[in-house]
C-alpha cells in the first residue's frame, strides 16, 4: 500500500468518525423541546418494561395531530401504558401525560421567554461538545499520521498534505455543527 493510500485511509476513517459526531450532536439537539410537539422529544426516553430498559420508540407509535401543542403516544401493548406514563413523568420534560385507556396525550404548553433562553444555553453547550469531539478526532488522526511519519511509513511532505486536508475536514464539520446550532436556536426562539 502506497503512502498516499495510507493517508487517504486515515482521512476517510476520520471523516466517518466526524460524521458520527455531527449526527450525535444533531440528535442531542432534537431531544430538546421547542415550542412544537415532536416525537424526537420522547422517542429516546427509557421505559422499564418487563424488567428491562426499552426506548419508548420501540413500545409505541407517535402522532402529532396539533403540531403546536399535542403529541399522541399509542402503545403497541396496552399493558405498557402505566410504565410509559411513569417514564415520561420521571424524564426531564416537565410534562404530565394524560391517559384515556388507549392512548397517552402530551400537551406542550408554550415556552416562556426565560425557558427559551435556558434551552438556547443548553443547545450551545451541546454544540460545544460536538465541536470538541470533532477537534479530538482531528488530534487523534494527527497523532496517528505523525507516528506514521516517524516510522517512515509516510514522507514529511505527505504528512504536511494530510494535515492540510485534516484541517479542511475539521473546519467543514465544525461549520456543520454551528449551522445545526443556529437552526435549533432559531427554532427555539421562534414564538
Distance, in Å, from the CA atom of 36 to the CA atom of 190, rounded to the nearest integer, reads: 10
Q: Looking at residue 137, what is its pLDDT?
A: 96
| Domain ranges for the chain | 3-30+113-189, 40-107
Compare 9 and 66 and report the one with higher pLDDT. Answer: 9
pLDDT of residue 147: 92
User: What Å distances lie between residue 20 and 82, 87, 104, CA to CA?
Assistant: 35, 28, 33
3-30+113-189 classified as CATH 3.90.76.10: no
- The Cα–Cα gap between 183 and 126 comes to 14
Q: Which CATH architecture has domain 40-107?
A: 2-Layer Sandwich (3.30)
Do 3-30+113-189 and 40-107 share a fold?
no
**Taking all residues of the chain, what is their mean pLDDT, rounded to a whole number?**
88
- What confidence tens digit (pLDDT) does each residue in 18-48 have? 999 999 999 888 877 666 777 777 877 888 8
Do 188 and 123 touch, CB atoms closer than 8 A? yes
User: What pTM does this model have?
Assistant: 0.74
Q: How far apart (Å, rounded) are the C-alpha atoms in residues 120 and 190? A: 12
Band of the pLDDT at 191, cuts 50, 70, 90? low
pLDDT of residue 4: 85
Amino acid at each position: 500500500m502506497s503512502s498516499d493510500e495510507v493517508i487517504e485511509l486515515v482521512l476517510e476513517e476520520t471523516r466517518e468518525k466526524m460524521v458520527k459526531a455531527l449526527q450525535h450532536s444533531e440528535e442531542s439537539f432534537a431531544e430538546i423541546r421547542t415550542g412544537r410537539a415532536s416525537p424526537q422529544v420522547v422517542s429516546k426516553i427509557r421505559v422499564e418494561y418487563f424488567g428491562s430498559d426499552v426506548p419508548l420508540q420501540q413500545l409505541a407509535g407517535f402522532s402529532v395531530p396539533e403540531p403546536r401543542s399535542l403529541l399522541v403516544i399509542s402503545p403497541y401493548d396496552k399493558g405498557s401504558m402505566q410504565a410509559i406514563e411513569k417514564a415520561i413523568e420521571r424524564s426531564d420534560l416537565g410534562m404530565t401525560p394524560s391517559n384515556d385507556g388507549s392512548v397517552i396525550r402530551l400537551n406542550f404548553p408554550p415556552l416562556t421567554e426565560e425557558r427559551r433562553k435556558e434551552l438556547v444555553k443548553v443547545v450551545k453547550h451541546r454544540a460545544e461538545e460536538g465541536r470538541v469531539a470533532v477537534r479530538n478526532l482531528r488530534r487523534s488522526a494527527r497523532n496517528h499520521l505523525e507516528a506514521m511519519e516517524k516510522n517512515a511509513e509516510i514522507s514529511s511532505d505527505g504528512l504536511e498534505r494530510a494535515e492540510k486536508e485534516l484541517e479542511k475536514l475539521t473546519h467543514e464539520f465544525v461549520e456543520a455543527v454551528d449551522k445545526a446550532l443556529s437552526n435549533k436556536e432559531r427554532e427555539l426562539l421562534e414564538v
